[in-house]
Amino acid sequence: MNVKPLAVAALLALSTSVWAAPIQSVDRVLAVVDQQVVTVSELAVQSKKIRASLPKGSNVTEQQIQSQALSDLVDQSLMVQLAQRTGIQVSNAEIQQNLNAVARQEGQTEAQWHQSIRNALLIEKVKQRDLHSRVRVSDAEIMQAIDQLPASAKKGHSNNMITAYMPQHILVAVNAQTTDAQALEKVRQLRAQLNQGESFEALARAHSQDPGSAANGGVLGWAIDGMFMPEFEKAMKSLPQGALSEPVRTTYGYHLIKVLQTRQQDAGDAQLRAQVRQNITEAKSQELYGDWINQLRKQAYVSVR
């Protein structure tokens, strides 16, 4: 639920998307992807990046490089358009936060540079919503992964204690089907039901639109600073244990939040666990990515010329 600058920098470093390179007025359209186009110049830039990433002596053919480049550009366009269509937004403040992490590419205007960051953030957010949120990582999986790390990779105690939280939430998404006002009204109705004694777990299973936690009654597991979006974290940290929040707006929609437990953890241990959790989440999300992007392709109009 939180997009970090390094994630955006990595996305832009590995791929040049359909917005990154300046498009000449004579540039030929190579493919149409719903409401966007892919041009020959964009394919050339993306192909160049793929070539640069190949190890020395690689026997990958030019045809394979061009095919992969086109596939990447189509997928990026699909993800950006999905994010825009379903109400995901990127603020100017978020773009400013990422300027130092993302280098301006040769030939980019300042406007194109900012747009490339905006779209990279859109892609990261839509992947977090549709992929990361579906992934559950258990404490047992984290401990097993830590046990397998070499001793040099395990951080010792820092003697700096921090607070960890176990939040529970219900999400009502704002998207193409549900306006902000409709989502807010729905979450207020759910809050009223909770205040009348309804079970948080039951309402989360029935109504929450966070697929990763709904089946678990809305429980998100242990978390420390930096794991969720700032608005979510601010509300979570201000709540007494067991209290119910007011509706909290994030990029995803409106949340109702309850803190089930808190505990003190050594900062070094907590940061290691958070990093391992993130690594496992990324790996599991990657397993889901192929089916997800194929489904987007099936639902879209894609024409290669």
Print the domain residue range for 41.
Answer: 5-130
Mean pLDDT, the chain, as a whole number? 84
Are 123 and 159 within one domain? Answer: no
* Cα 175–chain centre separation: 16
Q: Work out the percent of the chain whose per-residue pLDDT is above 90.
A: 37
Are 264 and 238 within one domain? Answer: yes
Does the pTM exceed 0.75?
Answer: no
| pLDDT (mean) for 234-253 | 93
**pLDDT (tens digit per residue) in 38-95:** 989 888 888 888 888 888 888 889 999 999 999 999 999 999 999 988 888 888 888 8
Q: Work out the percent of the chain whose per-residue pLDDT is above 70.
A: 87
**CA gap 223, 67 in Å, rounded:** 41
**CA gap 299, 305 in Å, rounded:** 19
Provide the CATH number for the domain around residue 206.
3.10.50.40
What the block records as the tokens of 46 is 């993306």
Q: Model confidence at 129, in pLDDT bands (50, 70, 90)? A: confident
In contact, 258 and 169? CB cutoff 8 Å: yes
Closest Cα to residue 116, out of 59, 212, 4, 124?
A: 124
- Of 104, 130, 156, the residue that ends a domain is 130
Are 168 and 220 within one domain? Answer: yes
Are 161 and 234 within one domain? Answer: yes
